Amino acid sequence: MKHETVTNVRFCETDAAGHVNNTSYFIYLEEARGKFFQSILKDYQTFGRFIIASTHCDFVSQAYYNQELVISTWISKIGNKSFQFKHEIRVKDSDTLIAAAGAAIVYFNYNEQTSEPIPAEFRKLLEGQLVAS
């Protein structure tokens, strides 16, 4: 299932070229992942033991001040100790693709400073959100 988050581009997120600065996209993606987790987890702290191992963003088109952007977020792959998000950012009015992105998330034990297998209950929640490519 794809989860959608809508954000409005603020002036402070643009740069001297007049378009959204590349660093702002990672803020949009982080917000979308947070809202994704809020939508599937009753208690974020129960399963909130993960870290981002990698993230990337391919910039396809430009976004500008005051545009509404829709960030689609979904789980694309689930491994033993990690899972992957995919994202698309589109302009709400025109459906123009602005960016395609992804993130690899590792289930992590902060006390031991090591990765751990994804717990069965959390895996089940993730599997319910899996979108086949």
What is the secondary structure of 40-56 as a DSSP string?
H-S-HHHH--EEEEEEE
* Of 67, 5, 68, 63, residue with least CA distance to 33: 5
Domain coordinates of the chain in residue numbers?
A: 3-127
Which pair of structure tokens corresponds to residue 64? Answer: 């500008």
d(CA 2, CA 125): 14
d(CA 39, CA 22): 27
Alpha helices, DSSP H, located in the chain? 22-40, 44-47, 120-127
Structure confidence at residue 42 (pLDDT): 76
pLDDT string in tens for the chain (133-residue length): 799 999 999 999 999 999 999 999 999 999 999 999 988 887 766 666 889 999 999 999 999 999 999 999 999 999 999 999 999 999 999 999 999 999 999 999 999 999 999 999 999 999 999 998 6
pTM: 0.92
- The one-letter amino acid code at 111 reads N
Q: Which CATH number applies to 3-127: 3.90.1300.10, 2.30.40.10, 3.40.50.20, 3.10.129.10?
A: 3.10.129.10
Structure confidence at residue 44 (pLDDT): 63
- Dihedral sign for Cα atoms in the order 71, 104, 108, 25: negative
Structure confidence at residue 47 (pLDDT): 62
